[in-house]
Amino acid sequence: MKSVFKIAAVSLFLAIGCFGLIPTAASEKVSAVETSELASLYGTHCASCHGGDGRANTPKGRDTDADDLTTSKVQNMSTAKMTRIIKNGKGDMPGFARKLTAAQIAAIVQHVKSF
């Protein structure tokens, strides 16, 4: 009886372990892909002026007087307003409505808000 109980306990433990692990591993993989895609979208379209870290400490960022995206002014900006600025541009910043899809712009806004 004792060994039957042991086997049952071990298989229960394994079953819980597997159910616990599979969704975690899958979601980690998805978010890793999304994160690298986001970084490259931002890197391709925004980093030349705003810098990879958002601080606009690049030659082009200083030339155009680009905003530091890590300041509370930008971080507290509504998603709608930031989306509008990225679509339409502002001052020396070009608009991206024709270059990026709405989904790409939404993803970039989330990336900027993570600075």
Could you list the residues that contact ligand HEC (CB under 6 A)? 45-46, 48-50, 60, 64-67, 69, 73-74, 82, 85-86, 90-94, 96, 108, 112
20 vs 37 by CB, closer to ligand HEC = 37
29 vs 81 by CB, closer to ligand HEC = 81
29: number of CA atoms within 13 Å, CB side?
6
Neighbours of 4 (CB within 10 A): 8
27 vs 79 by CB, closer to ligand HEC = 79
* Distance separating alpha carbons of residues 105 and 23, to the nearest angstrom: 28
